Amino acid sequence: MEKRQVELRLSKKNPEWHPDRYSKVIETEMSVSLKSDGLASTPLFFSVTETSIIVTDVLRYQNQTLDARSLIEFSCFGFVSGNRTVYEGWFRVEAGTQVSIQKATGEISVEVHGSHKVIENKGSFKEAEEQCLQAIHTMFHRFCEAAKNRPLLIPLSGGRDARLLAVLAKDYGLDVQTYSYGREGSFEVNRAKNVAQYLKLPFHHVRLNPNSWDCFHDADIQTFLDGAFSATQTPQLIEAVSIKKLREQVELDPQTIVIPGHSGDLLGGSHIPELGKVSYSRDDLVQTVMKHHGRFEWPNKKDMPFIIEALESQFEDKTYTPFEYVEACENWNIKNRQSKFILGAAQAYDWAGLDWCVPLWDLEFEKTWRSLPLKFREGSRLYNHVLDEHFFKRYDIDFPEHIPITKTPIVKALKGCVPQVVYQGIKHKMKSMRRESVDYNAYQWLNDLLLKELPEPLPYSKREDHAVLTAWFVQVFLGGQL
């Protein structure tokens, strides 16, 4: 039997200083193997035909058949789950897996090597606190050893994860600068500015206003969108625009490493679904994923079976204990939302010519947090306690959390007093009003710009951030229709 020819279209190099960030292509006489790290930080894509095996690390726009089901899922989540892409016949190596392809038969096998399997430990809250404190310092010490005193840049927001990295960088005496982006006076920018001020760290504000989006059709931004799209996810456009403007404002050392605070909240327990049953099914998992990660309200109900079928194929059909249920939910989140949509922000740093690392996504650090008793992780109870007591309070940056609209007293009071349909209507209206009043990043003006280019009406019942950009990718960039 004649063997398929292997065509490698690889343009990216693994960072030598960071051994946990890699993609590997291993070719032998009989097969070719593709291996991805635990977050697929350098994605790999492949296509197998009757005569060839094509492997690439950048899957740009192609004039070929679109996968209708993948487009539906992309439109619902903002990314395509599993190993599929929006193109028929093209697949992505999932985070923490190795794909082996036989040259003669084209047979494909998948082996999970970066398994996020964890075993729940027992112990007291105090013991867990000490364990986690040690894990944080071990994680950051390991990062410092790899970074070798290179200057750091931390994107600060109102969140806790980036704040933790800023405190650690301060405590370890590192060369660090911080920045935030958004409209003048916004909650996120003010919170970031206060953190940097209290820590006495250099801070840069990238101001966003309606004119900030005039660069959308610039050649360099379109190049970013093409590469960051990767046929699987809505690019983090705001990260590219803000880092571009920052580089125009500030001269950064070429050796600078950007360290965003991604994924710490996930490990801390913020994505643990509500528990209350003694066992769970595959259907429970699918419904939980739909509820928590179906980012846009997709009105065409006839398409839902396609999405459900795609999700069902990624979960084992069995009875799950509460711990197994949480583990499965988080694993799906890691392999899909984190490695695609969230880590997609790092594509902006690559595009801007800056190195990057996600220190909080350290494999040993992950295992420590995810092995803790669920009662300590639920609601980020232990995570928030450790950060406040051991890192934030001594710098007076243990700020109160920003209260979501659904947890404000007026909305909570209404929940039990009015019919559910009325309550949902009021909640959605208040969410809309808050978005309009705190449009931190001037996204409304970007949405207005993109809506004018859509050949079809916006297929969503609500005009959320990223929803219009996602629709633009389907209708304009890909030229597809749903």
Q: Average of pLDDT values for 203-230?
A: 91
* CA angle in degrees (0–180, nearest 5) for 87-91-92: 120
153-209 residue pLDDT tens: 999 987 999 999 999 999 999 999 999 999 888 888 999 999 999 999 999 999 988
Length of the chain: 482
7-32 residue pLDDT tens: 999 988 888 888 788 899 999 999 99
Shared fold status for 5-112 and 125-266+332-402: no
Distance CA 290, CA 77 (A): 9
- At 436 the pLDDT is 43
Q: In this structure, are residues 369 and 135 in contact, taking their beta carbons and an 8 Å threshold?
A: yes
Distance CA 449, CA 218 (A): 14
| pLDDT at 408 exceeding the cut of 70 | no
247-265 residue pLDDT tens: 999 999 999 999 999 989 9
Which CATH fold topology does 5-112 show? Glutamine Phosphoribosylpyrophosphate, subunit 1, domain 1 (3.60.20)
Which tokens in the block code for residue 176?
């660090």
For 275, counting Cβ atoms within 10 Å of its Cβ (0-12 exposed, 13-18 middle, 19+ buried), the class is middle
Q: In this structure, are residues 199 and 224 in contact, taking their beta carbons and an 8 Å threshold?
A: no
124-161 residue pLDDT tens: 999 999 999 999 999 999 999 999 999 999 999 879 99
In this structure, are strands 176-182 and 203-207 parallel, antiparallel, or unpaired?
parallel
Read off the amino acid at residue 271.
Answer: H
| pLDDT at 464 exceeding the cut of 80 | no
- What DSSP line would sit under 320-373, residue for residue? B-HHHHHHHHHHHHIIIIIIIIIGGGHHHHHHTT-EE--TT--HHHHHHHHTS-
Nearest Cα neighbor of 449 from 472, 474, 480 is 472
Q: Average of pLDDT values for 350-373?
A: 91
**435: pLDDT confidence band, cut at 50, 70 and 90?**
very low
Which CATH fold topology does 125-266+332-402 show? Rossmann fold (3.40.50)
Which tokens in the block code for residue 275?
């528990």
| pLDDT at 329 exceeding the cut of 80 | yes
Distances (CA, A) of 63 to 59, 71, 359: 12, 15, 38
**128 compared with 422, residue with greater pLDDT:** 128
User: Domains of the chain: which residue ranges?
Assistant: 5-112, 125-266+332-402
- At 289 the pLDDT is 93
The predicted model scores a pTM of 0.89
Buried-state track 214-234, b at ≥16 Cβ within 10 A, e below 16: eebeeeebeebbebbbbbbbb
